[in-house]
Structure 1
Amino acid sequence: MLKTSQEPKLLTSNLIEDVLHHIEDSSTIYLLSAFVMESGVKMVLPALKEAAARGADIKILTGDYLYVTQPEALSLLSELPQNQVEVRLWQSNGRSFHPKAFLFSGEDQGSLIVGSSNLSKSALTSGVEWNVSIPNDVSEEVYNEALEQYIHMFYAENTMKVNPETLKFYTQKYAEFKQKYPDLAQKWSEKEEIELTLGPDNPPDVIHDPTEPYVPTNEKPSPRFAQPEALESLQNTYEEGYDKAMVVMATGLGKTYLAAFFAEHFSRILFVAHREEILHQAKASFEHVNEGKLGGIYNGKEKNAEADMIFASIFTLSIQDHLQRFNADEFDLIIVDEFHHASSRSYQKVLEYFSPKFLMGVTATPERTDGQDIFALCDGNVAYEMNFIQAIQRGWLSPFHYYGVYDDIDYSQITWLGGRYDEEELAEAQLQEHTASNILSNWEKHKQTRTIGFCSSIKQANFLSQYFNHNGYQTISLHSKTEGISRKEAIEKLDRKEIDVIFTVDLFNEGVDIPSVDTLLFARPTESLVVFTQQIGRGLRKHLKKSHCTVIDLIGNYRNADVKLQLLGKDKGEGKKGKIQPITPADCEINLDVKTIQLLEELLKKRSPRKERVKMAYDQVKEQLGRRPTYWEMHLNGTEAIKEFKQIWKSYAGFLSSYGELTTEEQTIYETYIDWLEEVERTSMTKSYKMVVLKYMLDRGEMDWVQPATPEEMAPYFHSYLTEKPYRKNIDFTSKNTKALIEYDKAKVANLISTMPLTKWSGSSKGLLKYEDNVFSLNFEVPLEDRALLKKMTEEICEYRLNYYFERKWKKE
């Protein structure tokens, strides 16, 4: 039990004593240090290891500003168990980063320590430092706000998970910086902690408007547009025994109201989102539909845990102490808004904790912004899908007229930082008068009445707003530093046509509805196809005063420029080389100027070779995970089609071998059993049966998996595997010959297995498998010393092929 002082106290020396005391007694330990040094980490590491062993929630955030953080320190922190401890690095990109805070809480109480001390020996012991320790019961509001801000910062897009792969990257950058600035490096190593600049001067681009409740009409609404279809599908899914499903619905079709209608069938409901305004809007919508049920907000400022319907901020709920205020089975229905975020650690922590009767994920974009597939998060079950192209075809969203205009910025000269362009270099290229003139003239040529302009940075938004105003238009630059007008007021001015354009930076991606907007101006490169899709949705809502939405998009030689047009068509053009313009729905148009067409054709010719693209995608996933990804993880997280591995290298193991990614022992196994590994990889699958049989064999253990087996021995496992998940049964127990197998009959199942896959697979395996006298076996020897590793490599392919088979079959249906 914590025994903190009941009053705030000033700590001017030996901070380490208080820090260690809190680590020893706390269940929540959040450390924020502008930089970390090896000397400081060594002082706290043993206590952190003990805290992790007892199950404490530990997070450590540091930064790369001026590369003061030592790679050795990060390496020591990597020794902490990754399933219990998260370490992230703030990528400052040259912006000063100087926060220092330690947050602790436990069964009794905790403390917030804020001051000047980083994680270094001198700062924690004898250095001249001032820190203030505030017990959280003295100022609970301040403590909760600090906790909320910490979580927002910890999971910010520019933070990077520290793992062996990202540590290699940081170590290289660290060495390059030290070589370039040796005097500065020496100064830091001698003094260890010297404040070189003032604190952060460019906070995250978030505007905190006063929350105003959304007041719907008094009359209870009825489902409309796609909602009746989706609601029926959800209800059928639940009645069929599924316990989770995802709904993919384009922006403007009413995902929140759909969730509210579905919630009428449940008693206790949890709605989780990552934006405050979404929580309040959802609460109003749910209360409007669910008469008699009360809603409550659970975030950094409010903690209503007793309401029938709780609307929780993921940043607050994912904090261990808050999560454990609820029982695991507390909620009948959990709804995760913007489900494409749900692969992140904060969401995973919440989803792994709760056991609801049903989990419903809703999103307009079923891919994450980092390329990850979220299909697996709902056990392969998507109850309903309606993208914005389909919705336009059904008349539920406004058509678009797209104008691709030429952007002469040379993006090949701007540093690419893995997921985005270097902000300073990009701004330098964008903040040119001839660039602004090009944007203005194309906007004047194609615009309608109300425009949102999407920019890369605050600097660009301010620059374009000033340029447009200088040329006689009324515009606003809306971002975190905008003063004198709230987002709500700016939207109202645009709606009344008192201004022509709102220039903004990612404020209108999610959770904002402005139906009257009829023009979208993309003055930024498309770094993320998901964000581009979200932003397109801002202009597609139906409105009496618009016939279509005009999209004006600057196209330069940036990444994704030659593939994003596929998002705008019914025909994605897969496999059709040289295809520039997709087929659009009726009343939609795609117009490209001559220079843009020439540029796109040139980009298609210059696309990096297949092998290079696949290797880059692999490296990105490896860095993200901190280790070599499995075949299935590569499919879930990779940005390139997984079929490329098979087409180029015949197997995933072949790819790993060609790039030296296998261990010496794995390389020997690969070379010895290459024919077998390629057979498992390439054998055709009209049903899952071959891989289910192989999985049965593998599940018998490292030594026994190679032993022969009969269909009768396989039958119980075979039937159990295909019926334990509803989607497996629905996909592979639907033909006339297999319907009888739903009610288990061992003889019938064994007879099915004997015919397919045993007889067919042994016949097509080029002698690698044998099925004689009712016995199925490998037709090659595997010595005892090879069995464990060959099993592991075979298992990886089997897992991928089974998961991919069911995913592909579902999508086809």
Structure 2
Amino acid sequence: MTMPSLVMEHNVLTTGGEDPLLPQLLHAINHATEIEIAVSFVQRSGVELLLPSLNEAIERHKHQGTQLILRILTSDYLHISHPIALRYLLALEGDGVEVKIFESQNQSFHLKSYIFVRSDSNDLLMEGTAFIGSNNISKTALTDAHEWCLRYDYQPPEDSYPAQQFANIRKQFDRLFTHPSAQPLTDEWISRYLQNRKPPKLALVGSNGLIDADEEKVGPNSAQIEALEALHQTRLAGNVRGLVVLGTGMGKTWLSAFDAKQVAAERVLFVAHREEILTQAQNTYTKLWPEKSSGFYHGQEKELDKEMVFASVQTLGRQHHLDRFSPDHFDYIVIDEFHHASAKTYLNILNYFTPTFLLGLTATPERTDQANILSLCHDNLVFERNLVHGIDEKILVPFHYFGIWDDAVDYQEIPWRNGKFDPQALDAQFATLRRAQHIFHHWKQHQQSRTLAFCVSKKHADFMADAFNEAFAEQGLKALAVHSDSSVRRNEALTLLDKGEVHVLFSVDLFNEGTDLPSIDTVMMLRPTESNIIFLQQLGRGLRRHESKAHLVVLDFIGNHRTFLNKQEVLGLSLGQRAASSALRSSSGEAPRLGAGCFVNLDPQIIAFWEQLSKQYRNTAEEDYLNLEGHLGHRPQAVEFYRAGYDLAKVSKQHKSWFSLVAQHCESDTTRNVIARHHDFLFNAVQKASMTKCFKAVLLEAFLELDGFQTPPTIEQLAARSWQVLSCYPRLRERDLKPKEQALLATDKQWVKYWHANPVNAFIGKNSKQADAWFRLEGEHFCANFEVLPSEAAILHDLVKELVDYLLARYTDRDSTPAIVTNQVTEQVSNVTALDSGKTEVPEKVQVSLPYYPDLKIACGHFKTGHHDECELMAVDLMNVDPERHFLARASGNSMNGGKSPIYDGDLLLLELVTPSSAGSITGTTMAIEIQDESGDNQYLLRVVKKDKQGQYWLKANNPDYADMPANETMKTFARLKQVVR
């Protein structure tokens, strides 16, 4: 492949305005091996235009095993160079990068030169060019202003006059770059410059836009303002960790920077999984906080002494790197996008550092994908705004979504392995003329002016670009394929698209994240996206606001495979409710809530296919597990499975326990052996732990943090660490501890005594009739009552931690339901006694612990699946109840919220067990009815039983919106409603 020239086809003179210098510079940066720049002033606006190309060039050379030589010289002349621009330049990293500042000492320094060289692998000069004129590095100077710049090209042979003059230009640059007044740019130099800087007024240097207005400030948008207040309040409540969910394009990174400044953090750590995200975050923080030094900690750079450190999780997550910092080194930590890396890697960082506050960030509003991050943030969801909020608040533009039936591909014939289509088979089906013509037809019908298309492979992207260019032949339009092997660089392609010189970019993975080109107004989804996260990232590429864009057009090609059902989910859960057009309504019968100005249009074939699938599609627990594994891209954790809406009781029913299912799909023989050896403990002691308070889960968390399987802690150590763990959950602490215990400190004897009497005693068997306790006391040490081999301790630790996260998540969710008020019942007590004194007296209520089934949902709507595998005790103050006959469960739905005694969704119900022989007369009584569905799962319903003159029983709802339901032989009465406990 022939390498493009350093020089674009252009006159040797650029004049600015309609003939700007910027495209010439970007093209040369993309193809040079050496870059030398000397300018009087650098401004933030100009550096921001060059940074993407410079960073991409540095990264490209690094991957190729070569080195980009980049030398930049600017000055402090007249104090015009902007501190933020200097911080940007200082952040450029690479072995061949040098940035210097010429200390002018009131001596004029007016250079504006840009020199580019391309050498071969033997460092022989092949091509060179120099731009010398009047352009400093500011946006106006590089684009709009009247600026003349003359290009001088190297011409071989070496002894020719042009070659000698080019060599002299480089020699003069080198003379200045090595001059004693040219000092290396450092954080310390910039800090001194900030203190001493007295920039001139614009009038002093003319109105040609050489400098940016220093007073330009960036402020939070409406969603960020709300989030900042929520973060402030959560810290006041005592939380030290929290999760914020902001939809793509709504400013997650900016929010974290605003919040770090809001708390006046001294040292900030920002952790992400990709260096590109770290670079963008560093630019954001620098723009907001130029007073602070910043640096990177990843594979190439490892800067320890900066006030703001931007670190890759892959590097910092290793123990020997963590050991280079003290645990309290950072007082504010930001963790971005947990779902991109394994929880273990992040846990190394989370378990090591002890910041004043830790902020978790994610753009995905799915509970499935929040699962791990929410647990790691102590189940503290501080603030959530999805794309709908962003669109309604005009932070993002609305979208017009067209779901197009992909009739050119038979997805049923493409092999499906490990939750994904076979890539080679997919490639073959996609690179066909028939499909390209189908796509072009719909693009031509709906497109606007700038289209970004997502392809499955490089071959697919190249094929689509060729097909579109052939169709464009007589229209003056152009398409490009952009990927890691394309001749056109990513930054150059985006510039061409933005300028309208290219109309469609076909991309492979390069633009899923981090691309900020607001002018993109059409997005085409040409590949199946098994992950909703990727779908939202791709959608977000076009949602940024732009002066020339009223809305985004989305063309999504949907085929005949069940994986495309996630389109319903992402358009429903992520963007409002349920995907719909005029022919497809939400489950409530209402139109979807998609955001102001949005609409969804689906081809009828898609709706028919989805309806066909929904009729025949019913998953086993194993299928749920495998589908979620494909969606997440890794083995689901128990808490991820739970937050995805799946049922662990269903897993236990079909596979004995959660980890029994995990073992069936685990590749590690060691892990399977640990699960087998400790199955009873994992299932009975942890997964099925009954918790009227959070104490058992907190104790286990503390036990794990103390490495209790290998080094059993004392009761004092366990109590103190449990106090610290519980302090991380201030809402649970306030709910489950009385004020007297809340006032205790971790080392107080009263606290140790209290903790010993509660969860410790429960685990060692002193609070129940349990014959074989899971733990025992050896002196003052809390020890496992079963053998844990040294070789299996670490694996068992992780397995228990997984279940503890699940227990705490489930308990926290339960805690979010309305609190139960004891000493009060819904209905007036009817059997009052008239005493001789003439007074009326209510019989005294007695506190009793009744069985409570948190997962047994008694439906007030249609029959609802539930189970009674999970049971715990709940203390309530009621009369005439017997734990052998009476139990507690919650109502679900609204069919009984009418009449004199309405029952609301979430109400706590007191029910009395009955059998067909002991039920007695049930006519006119509110009964819980049980049936079994086709899979054998139990379903439950609450209704008033009526009997007509023909002897037919009917199930009647209190809410007149629900029709009467005839009873049949498959239904069984199993409990009578006694009252509602509020």
What does residue 599 of structure 1 align with? 609
CA contact (8 A) 1:680 1:794 kept: no
User: Within 5 A, what are the aligned runs for 1:664-675?
Assistant: none
Separation of aligned partners in 1, 2:367 and 2:398: 25
What does residue 95 of structure 1 align with? none
Separation of aligned partners in 2, 1:781 and 1:328: 40
> Which residue, out of 652, 656, 665, partners 2:658?
652
Number of corresponding residues: 579
Q: Offset at 1:426?
A: 0.9
What does residue 786 of structure 2 align with? 788
What does residue 259 of structure 1 align with? 256
CA contact (8 A) 1:260 1:289 kept: yes
Q: Offset at 1:260?
A: 1.8
Secondary structure of the corresponding residue to residue 405 of structure 1: strand
CA contact (8 A) 1:402 1:589 kept: yes
What does residue 465 of structure 2 align with? 465
CA contact (8 A) 1:407 1:556 kept: yes
Q: Offset at 1:352?
A: 5.0
Q: Offset at 1:252?
A: 1.5
Separation of aligned partners in 2, 1:459 and 1:808: 46
One-letter code of the match for 2:594? Answer: T
Q: Offset at 1:383?
A: 3.0
Separation of aligned partners in 2, 1:321 and 1:666: 30
Q: 1:608 to 1:644 in 2, by over 3 A?
A: same
What does residue 413 of structure 2 align with? 413
Q: Which is strand-richer, 1 or 2?
A: 2
Separation of aligned partners in 1, 2:649 and 2:415: 30
Secondary structure of the corresponding residue to residue 550 of structure 1: strand
- Higher RCO (CA-CA < 8 Å; seq separation 6+): 1
Q: Offset at 1:502?
A: 1.2
Secondary structure of the corresponding residue to residue 499 of structure 1: coil
Separation of aligned partners in 2, 1:694 and 1:599: 47
One-letter code of the match for 2:396? Answer: L
Which one is further off, 300-309 or 777-786?
Answer: 777-786
Secondary structure of the corresponding residue to residue 396 of structure 1: coil
Q: Offset at 1:540?
A: 1.6
Q: Offset at 1:795?
A: 11
Q: Which is helix-richer, 1 or 2?
A: 1
Alignment pair present for 1:502 and 2:518 = no
CA contact (8 A) 1:580 1:597 kept: no
Q: 1:781 to 1:402 in 2, by over 3 A?
A: same
Separation of aligned partners in 2, 1:269 and 1:657: 40
What does residue 426 of structure 2 align with? 426
CA contact (8 A) 1:731 1:806 kept: no
CA contact (8 A) 2:451 2:520 kept: yes
CA contact (8 A) 2:427 2:459 kept: yes
Separation of aligned partners in 2, 1:426 and 1:328: 48
One-letter code of the match for 1:235? Answer: H
Deviations 1:155-201 (A, max 9, x none): xxxxxxxxxxxxxxxxxxxxxxxxxxxxxxxxxxxxxxxxxxxxxxx
Alignment pair present for 1:556 and 2:551 = no
CA contact (8 A) 2:378 2:729 kept: no
Separation of aligned partners in 1, 2:419 and 2:733: 39
CA contact (8 A) 1:404 1:593 kept: yes
> Which residue, out of 757, 769, 783, partners 1:778?
769
Alignment pair present for 1:725 and 2:729 = no
> Which residue, out of 519, 522, 529, partners 1:519?
522
What does residue 248 of structure 1 align with? 245
Q: 1:580 to 1:552 in 2, by over 3 A?
A: farther
CA contact (8 A) 2:530 2:631 kept: no
Q: Offset at 1:458?
A: 0.9
CA contact (8 A) 1:405 1:553 kept: yes
Q: 1:303 to 1:480 in 2, by over 3 A?
A: same
Separation of aligned partners in 2, 1:359 and 1:665: 33
Unaligned 5+ runs, structure 2: 1-62, 66-93, 97-136, 140-210, 580-585, 777-783, 817-982
What does residue 41 of structure 1 align with? none
Q: 1:585 to 1:325 in 2, by over 3 A?
A: same
The TM-score, its normalising length taken from structure 2, stands at 0.49
CA contact (8 A) 1:518 1:549 kept: yes
The TM-score, its normalising length taken from structure 1, stands at 0.58
Separation of aligned partners in 2, 1:257 and 1:784: 48
User: Within 5 A, what are the aligned runs for 1:24-173?
Assistant: 141=95
Separation of aligned partners in 1, 2:288 and 2:809: 34
Q: Offset at 1:524?
A: 0.5
What does residue 582 of structure 2 align with? none
Q: 1:651 to 1:732 in 2, by over 3 A?
A: farther
Q: 1:323 to 1:694 in 2, by over 3 A?
A: closer
Separation of aligned partners in 1, 2:302 and 2:798: 44
What does residue 73 of structure 1 align with? none
User: Within 5 A, what are the aligned runs for 1:569-588?
Assistant: 569=572, 572=577, 583-588=593-598
Secondary structure of the corresponding residue to residue 525 of structure 1: coil
User: Within 5 A, what are the aligned runs for 1:169-568?
Assistant: 218=214, 219-264=216-261, 265-299=264-298, 304-314=303-313, 317=316, 326-343=325-342, 347-351=346-350, 354-365=353-364, 373-408=372-407, 409-472=409-472, 473-483=477-487, 485-568=488-571
Q: Offset at 1:325?
A: 5.1
Q: 1:600 to 1:811 in 2, by over 3 A?
A: same
Q: Offset at 1:603?
A: 2.9
Separation of aligned partners in 1, 2:564 and 2:442: 18
Deviations 1:344-367 (A, max 9, x none): 665555555544443333221377
Q: 1:413 to 1:493 in 2, by over 3 A?
A: same
User: Within 5 A, what are the aligned runs for 1:18-29?
Assistant: none
What does residue 167 of structure 1 align with? none
Q: 1:581 to 1:445 in 2, by over 3 A?
A: farther
Q: Offset at 1:242?
A: 3.8
Deviations 1:697-754 (A, max 9, x none): 999999xx9xxxxxxxx9998998477433533135248x945542249999999999
Q: 1:516 to 1:373 in 2, by over 3 A?
A: same
CA contact (8 A) 1:269 1:332 kept: yes
Separation of aligned partners in 2, 1:697 and 1:740: 24
Q: 1:424 to 1:541 in 2, by over 3 A?
A: same
One-letter code of the match for 2:460? Answer: Q
Q: 1:728 to 1:331 in 2, by over 3 A?
A: closer
What does residue 808 of structure 2 align with? 806
Q: 1:327 to 1:516 in 2, by over 3 A?
A: same
Deviations 1:524-581 (A, max 9, x none): 011222111111111222233333222111111345311232222355569x989999
Q: 1:395 to 1:685 in 2, by over 3 A?
A: farther
CA contact (8 A) 1:455 1:504 kept: yes
Alignment pair present for 1:688 and 2:694 = yes
Q: Offset at 1:608?
A: 5.9
What does residue 52 of structure 1 align with? none
Report which of the two structures shows the higher radius of gyration computed on alpha carbons: 2
CA contact (8 A) 1:338 1:362 kept: yes
Q: Offset at 1:280?
A: 3.4
Q: Offset at 1:416?
A: 3.0
CA contact (8 A) 1:723 1:729 kept: no
CA contact (8 A) 1:279 1:313 kept: yes
Q: 1:795 to 1:481 in 2, by over 3 A?
A: closer
CA contact (8 A) 1:263 1:290 kept: no
Unaligned 5+ runs, structure 1: 1-98, 102-139, 143-211, 706-713, 762-768
Q: 1:732 to 1:335 in 2, by over 3 A?
A: closer
Separation of aligned partners in 1, 2:733 and 2:751: 15
